[in-house]
Structure 1
């Protein structure tokens, strides 16, 4: 099958390059960030390293939406939550979406599937999560973090009880690409499992501007994680959403994943450090909103959201 990547950022490059190189499928990249597109064209591809080593240029096809004339079988969407609405509107106006196309997304946070469903048939949508760390240090310059072959991702149909034939073919391509796909039964529980993980690691590492390995050097990490997880699990259970991991497993995953990616700065920190808005409203903020909708107040998550926004506001005084 042929794939199109919407959003040539850290994860868009990760999925596209691994599909192209490992699965041998055709991949086109769509992006709207001019420095990124022009740098790819200038250097003949995207510059890729693995854990800071073996940097090389991978030739790719990259386009602005308005100049794209291709027709991929599957779109893979990786945009920041706050950019997604404008991106989808621009892509739709450019006429690159078609009724026969499937779409997959493993973006951070929640709320994006409802936006994507405005442009694609819900029966052709696949929800995903990815425990795959990637850095984008400059336009057309990415670093795949973690030992090759340790990638893990989950996927589930958005509007089907079981995957159809095309969805299974996408799964097989992801498997050939060594992205470590695993089917999940329920997309909401699957996605919320990643949201509550990010609500600990991404948010706290951002607040203290530290790497994941530095984060778990503190003896109180388990207690901090447990407090945030307990609120998130309580909110989800009141909403009838049941995560694919237990509370204990989530706590232990913070330690194990942070050990595996000890030199990694989470994506929220990468945005924060570059002066961009963070996705905290779609992570901790989403958990807090879910709780209030079901008569449960996630006071820690609400406080953490304010702390991150306070840190964003304080950047103006650090010139």
Structure 2
């Protein structure tokens, strides 16, 4: 099976290297030239609980990757879903299976512009990773990955994907509740990513603040109201418990959020696909979301200042979703 990981960032590098080390034919593709060149020249340095390991996995820019692909795993940032899919069209046939494990809302809608629903598999993962430099990924902690086929008619194919992940020591299960799990993760990320980014802290650090739960409570309330209107029933206690578990350093409490890492590198964050997407749904359904709006605007301010606050222009201040 010819497998291509679209997006060789933190999670793409972690998943790709895990599959490659277990004898699957895997290639990484990314548009970050420095990162691709580092992997091509020196291999991918994977740092985890076992130490350091150089993994000589093939890596390419999208235009340099050739051949028909059996399984395309999308792990690029949501901000790049459209552009990366356009650059990968030459790899996709009617037989290609496409699995998205991305964060945020809206990726499924983008992907179905390029592949049929029969080809599409959707997943969500609680594994985390950190790209510490070109050609270097930190892959600590454990997690779980849930996968489902979009139509409900490709269960055998979904099972084969599950087997690939489990054989590569990435715990994965078939789930009929992936969409709800995606919303749970969106709720989690919409709370934790902006807060960790704004405070320049890990989850474990902000969790020690005595007013932490007082801060996250109204943010979650707004998200749950929007989810309910969208037909998704979220459990506030469950999400809160997930947040509490994430404060533990052995899980990911010492991990710096991907949003904070993006800000540090001067790159766009996924805020539009988290709080921004929620704000759009809230606006459509006339649900006030002042707490999520505040987080959204503050992150947009950091984005525009490459990590340093800048004054937003009048148009941005007046808009709740763009």
Q: TM-score, length-normalised on structure 1?
A: 0.91
Pairing 1:301–2:292 present: yes
Structure 2 CA distance, aligned partners of 1:275 and 1:6? Answer: 21
Deviation at 1:207, TM superposition (A): 0.8
SS of 2:266's equivalent in the other structure is coil
The 5 Å alignment of 1:268-279 reads 268-279=259-270
Structure 1: stretches of 5+ with no match in the other structure: none
Aligned alpha-carbon RMSD (Å): 1.9
Structure 1 CA distance, aligned partners of 2:174 and 2:223? Answer: 23
Deviation at 1:283, TM superposition (A): 0.4
The 5 Å alignment of 1:103-142 reads 103-142=98-137
Give the ranges of 4+ consecutive aligned residues of structure 1 lying more than 3 Å apart after TM superposition.
313-318
1:157 alignment partner in structure 2: 149
2:240 alignment partner in structure 1: 251
How far does the alpha carbon of each residue in 1:232-264 deviate from its partner, in whole angstroms, 9 at most, with x for none? Answer: 111110121234xx2101001111112121221
Deviation at 1:316, TM superposition (A): 7.6
Counterpart among 77, 84, 96 of residue 101 in structure 1: 96
Structure 2: stretches of 5+ with no match in the other structure: 310-322
Deviation at 1:50, TM superposition (A): 0.8
Structure 2 CA distance, aligned partners of 1:157 and 1:316? Answer: 38
CA contact (8 A) 1:155 1:182 kept: yes
Structure 2 CA distance, aligned partners of 1:48 and 1:114? Answer: 33
2:161 alignment partner in structure 1: 170
Q: TM-score, length-normalised on structure 2?
A: 0.90
How far does the alpha carbon of each residue in 1:145-191 deviate from its partner, in whole angstroms, 9 at most, with x for none? Answer: 21xxx22122222232x642111110111122222213322443221
2:273 alignment partner in structure 1: 282
Structure 2 CA distance, aligned partners of 1:317 and 1:113? Answer: 32
Structure 1 CA distance, aligned partners of 2:177 and 2:303? Answer: 34
Structure 1 CA distance, aligned partners of 2:173 and 2:40? Answer: 35
Structure 2 CA distance, aligned partners of 1:281 and 1:79? Answer: 15
**Structure 2 vs 1, CA of residues 231 and 71 (structure 1 numbering), >3 Å: closer, same or farther?**
same
How far does the alpha carbon of each residue in 1:16-63 deviate from its partner, in whole angstroms, 9 at most, with x for none? Answer: 1111224x32111122221111111211x1011015x61221011112
1:34 alignment partner in structure 2: 33
